[in-house]
A and B are shown apart, each in its own frame.
Chain A
Amino acid sequence: MSGRKRAPWLIRALVRLYPLDFRREFGRDVEKESADTLAEGSDGGRRLGAWVRVVRDVSLSVCREHWDTWVGDVREGGMASVLQDVRRVARGFVRTPGFTAVVVLTLGLGVGATTSIFSVVHGVLLAPLPYPEADRIVSVSEAVADAEQQSISVSYVNGQDWKTGQTTLDAMALVRGGAVTLNGPDGAQQVSALFADPEYFEVFGTEAARGRLFEEADNRVPGGHPVAVLTHDAWDRLFGSDPGVIGAAIDLGGTPYTVLGVLSATYRDPFGGANGAGNDFIIPAMMAGIIDPRGEDIVTVRRWRTFGAVGKTRPGVAIETADADLKRVAAQLESVDAVNRGMTAVVLPFNQVATTTFRGPALALLGGALVLLLIACFNVANLLLVRGAAREHELALQYALGAGRGRLLRLLATESALLALIGGALGITLASLTLPTLLSLIPNQLPPTADVHMSLPVLAAAMALSLGAGLVFGLIPAIRLGGRDLRPALSGARSGGSRKGERVRSGLVVFEMATATVLLAASAVLVRGFEEIRSADSGFVTENVLSLRVNLPPATYIDQAGMARAAAELSERLSSVPGAEWAHAWGPGRPGQSFNFQTSIPEGMVVDQIMDSPLARRHQIGAGGLEDMGISLLRGRTFTDSDRLGTPGVAIISESMAQELWPGEDAVGKQYHNFQPPGQPIPTDRMWTVVGVVADARHGGRVSQPGAITTPNDSYFPIAQRPERSFTLLVKFNSAPDVAPVREAIRSYDSNIPITQVATMAENFAVEEGTSRFAAQLMAAFGLGALLLAALGVYGVIAFTVSQRTREIGLRAALGADSRAMLHSVMRRGLVLALAGVTIGVLVATAAIRGLQAVVPNVPGMDAPALAIASTALVLMAVVACLVPAARATRVSPVVALKGD
């Protein structure tokens, strides 16, 4: 030192990282110069700037000098010297196969977990959608002005006004999916159709492979354009790629449709379609009336909000600009119709909308995998340190023989790099092997446009991760070696593992324990959240209940009377299937999952705006259905056969709804209606009398979706009075449901009725719970991995300490120390490390779980049990990990231990 001033520790630490030759020659100069430069900055702001400049400059220079040294060495010795290093390191690996295997496996698991999760995240969230200029595609929805995150469907009429009023979109299309019946020579089958405006093709940049697409002129008159475009896949699957079908008429729901053309094979459906596999037909939006009981009203009456909207921004227009533009148009439309009052428009990136439900869990899992990788890195660093200490003698000997410190460092670097590469290769192999399993764990949860595979970016990320990991775990031992005087290690042959080394290793273990606690607590919370979802009481019978959907062809079941009769007759037939206890029709959704809401306004209450109306889910059910489903009647009566078309409208409402609409009163006998614009009379079929109140049930889906409408209100109507064209049939069996006779019964009733979505209620729930289960299972696996790695870390340090202290222990034993005291001393050390780590971990975990709650639905708050489970598991593992070396310590024979001297 110059004696004037000592360089700050950070600078000294950085200088230590220089290659030895450079450090010998200029290390002190750099330290001194840094100190002088830092001393120049007088006031706070300038001083900080000087710090940043100096630290950056020295860090970059460290890298540069290492590169120079390496290049120089390679030039000097040729590639041969690098290969020689590699060979030598490889020989070392072969000599210690156990050590090498543990390191490579640890790394491989860390890199593998991270890579496979990242490939999913990349495919779903990061990779652009498979459309030209996909970043310009937006989704547009309507929303209540002060609750924008709860976006809702778009009124077709509003959507058309948006189109003409807006100035920021190149194209905009309203779309609505639905199931239609295709009557072919092989009988009826249900196919998925997307009813869309002709601009749809422009938005997604889709072209016709054969024939033509439909145009503006094909979408003018409601119900007047029976034409369709086939997707390439549907053309293959349904028509055997027959070119003759283009221009020919096909029978959709009893109406002949002309096939205009076939889409290009590269077109990927951005929506799931009725069965999740994409739509088969694209039909002009003006025809959408065929899938809705309101018929053509849904494209002509402003109040029916049943469409989605997509658009493509003009080049260079930001999404925020388009959002403001559409909001302006929506504001103008507020005065056009009372149903628009208080409503606005929301423009979002299409990709974001398509992946909302997946984003949170995916990011949480990626975070979990990265934490696991970090723990793996610390573990490997620890193992290398332990081995480095054990090898100190060997290294010192090589040094004494003239190997040069730089060369030793290079060997260490080669060792880290080689381990990182092998570990990374193993990780990538593991990831590509497990990817199919991983994907199968998330049934129907991935957006249809997701393309998950081991792509180039994923591989690049995996390699970067491995090398980054190598840098993290390789740097620590290198710094340790860099600043050490190796001569003592040579003389005192077995003194290795200095006190400072022990501190570094202990610090790593504490950190590892802390990180593992966080991961374990997070996984405990996720698992508990999933358990809560799974075990939640739905409020109705689900055991051995089969559910399937039917869609009544309009040609046969022309009017409401026809639909009502079919619902009753089908239920009747299915209830006499062998093994069946009862059967009921349930519309429009199915029990447990219904997203059909209706405004419900008590008689006498004045509501000016549709969005101020109380909301309730709407269900239609056959007589006796509520009783059989176990939804218990609290007051009033249930439906009877006399509640049918032509008699006054009746409803049974849930307890919550009764309390919201008529607080403190008996709801039975009260009347309510749905929203009507002020001044307009209430249609008689939109006025209902409450005849009964039933217990609450959960129909909002098992897992709450971000932005979804949530209400505990349910209203039930007789399906005989409010029939549906498409509804669910529920069949309760006295044992495991048997599908075949149910299908046969429906076929014998009418072979033209397509049957879809056949599943038991348990299966339906399992699909709904998919993402939660996936997140919980995977996070649990990560947590378990972290637990094992942390235990391995503790074991490594304690075992090493014991082996280093063999002589001391032997001496104490010779002097008559109690073996139990010895056991205690070793165990205490392990426990102190574990408890320190767990304490820090618990503190961090509370914050981490709050973050988790923000991104994953249905995560319960941080609670004592989750933390207790995590910390207990870790401490127990630490105790087990200490027991083996501790037991070894008690068995140290004084004679053997002291003979070493």
Chain B
Amino acid sequence: MAEQKSLSPAEFQILLALVDGPKHGRGIKLDVRERTDGDVDMGPGTLYGAIKRLLRRGWISEVTESLETVDDERLRYYAATPDGLEAARVEAARMSTLLGIAQAKQLIV
């Protein structure tokens, strides 16, 4: 499988959304949209494409026990794995470093 260590923005947002606990696809999308004041609004393809890649890399996993059903159809919940949380932390740290540089150069205050 493709072993890429970098996180795409969509993947990073999904991991952030899952820090609080498992969510289903639409829940992730709504969480991201709310947190970013609608700036980040993932389309269906972007959302599930990113979910697929995170699953393949083992950074999120599907929650197996039934949490919620609609008309007998079980919604698929996803949870961040320890590896996934670690990846999100590394990415956040990297961003924080960048932020520090930008502040040092007084790009932002």
Contacts and interface: CB of A to CB of B under 8 A. Distances in A.
Interface stretch (B11-19, B68-76, B85-93): B68-76
A26 B52 contact: yes
Contacts of B1: 72, 75
Nearest to A36: B26
A29 B71 CA distance: 15
A672 B77 CA distance: 97
B9 interface: no
Interface in B1-48: 1-2, 25-26, 29, 42-48
Interface residues of A, number: 28
B82 interface: no
A60 B2 CA distance: 19
B2 A72 contact: yes
B51 interface: yes
- Of A22, A53, A56, A57, the most chain B CB neighbours within 10 A belong to A57
A33 B73 contact: no
A3 interface: yes
Interface in A30-83: 30-31, 33-34, 36-37, 53-54, 56-62, 64-65, 68, 71-72, 75
Given A2-B70, A33-B26, A33-B29, A57 B2 contact: no
Contacts of B26: 33, 36
Contacts of A25: 52
Given A30-B44, A57-B43, A65 B70 contact: no
A484 interface: no
Given A3-B71, A3-B73, A22-B52, A29 B45 contact: no
A62 B44 CA distance: 11
Given A34-B44, A57-B44, A57-B45, A26 B51 contact: yes
B61 to A, nearest CB: 14
B100 interface: no
Say what secondary structure dominates the interface of chain A: helix
Contacts of A68: 2, 53
Contacts, number: 65
B25 A29 contact: yes
A4 interface: yes
Contact of B48 (A30, A36, A72): A30
Interface string B78-107: 000000000000000000000000000000
A36 B2 CA distance: 31
Contacts of A29: 25, 44, 48, 76
A54 B52 contact: no
A61 B46 CA distance: 6
B70 A61 contact: no
A648 B91 CA distance: 100
A65 B49 CA distance: 7
A602 B42 CA distance: 79
Nearest to A53: B43
Interface string A776-793: 000000000000000000
Interface in A598-630: none
Contacts of B71: 2-4
A268 B76 CA distance: 71
A72 B57 CA distance: 13
A62 B45 contact: yes
A31 B48 CA distance: 11
Contacts of B73: 2-3
A223 B85 CA distance: 90
A3 B69 CA distance: 12
Contacts of B45: 30, 57-62, 64
A26 B48 contact: yes
Contacts of A33: 25-26, 29, 44, 47-48
Contacts of A54: 43-44
A56 B43 contact: yes
Interface string A680-704: 0000000000000000000000000
B2 A71 contact: yes
Contacts of B48: 22, 26, 29-30, 33, 61
Nearest to B73: A2
B8 to A, nearest CB: 11
- Of B29, B45, B71, the most chain A CB neighbours within 10 A belong to B45
B40 to A, nearest CB: 13
A72 B2 CA distance: 7
A64 B49 contact: yes
A2 B76 CA distance: 13
Contact of A4 (B43, B53, B70): B70
Contacts of A36: 26
Contacts of B43: 37, 53-54, 56-58, 61
A26 B56 CA distance: 13
Nearest to A59: B45
B72 to A, nearest CB: 8
Interface in A702-728: none
Nearest to A28: B73
Contacts of B49: 61, 64-65
Nearest to A56: B43
Contacts of A65: 49, 52
A56 B42 CA distance: 12
Nearest to A25: B52
Interface string A529-569: 00000000000000000000000000000000000000000
Contacts of B70: 2-4
B91 to A, nearest CB: 20
Nearest to A21: B52
A75 B47 CA distance: 25
A40 to B, nearest CB: 10
A790 to B, nearest CB: 38
A899 B70 CA distance: 54
A238 to B, nearest CB: 68
A34 to B, nearest CB: 5
B1 to A, nearest CB: 7
Nearest to A31: B44
Contacts of B47: 33
A37 B33 CA distance: 12
Nearest to B72: A3
Contacts of B2: 68, 71-72, 75
A57 B47 CA distance: 10
A46 to B, nearest CB: 13
A19 to B, nearest CB: 10
A72 B56 CA distance: 11
Contacts of B76: 29
Interface in A319-369: none
- Of B1, B25, B46, B48, the most chain A CB neighbours within 10 A belong to B48
- Of A3, A29, A68, A75, the most chain B CB neighbours within 10 A belong to A29
Interface in A782-835: none
A34 B1 CA distance: 28
Interface of A: 2-4, 22, 25-26, 29-31, 33-34, 36-37, 53-54, 56-62, 64-65, 68, 71-72, 75
Given A58-B44, A75-B2, 6 more contacts: A3-B71, A30-B48, A57-B43, A57-B44, A58-B43, A61-B44
7 contacts: A3-B73, A33-B44, A33-B47, A54-B43, A58-B43, A61-B48, A65-B49
Interface of B: 1-2, 25-26, 29, 42-49, 51-53, 70-71, 73, 76
Closest 6 CB pairs of A and B: A61-B45, A57-B43, A33-B44, A26-B48, A58-B45, A3-B71
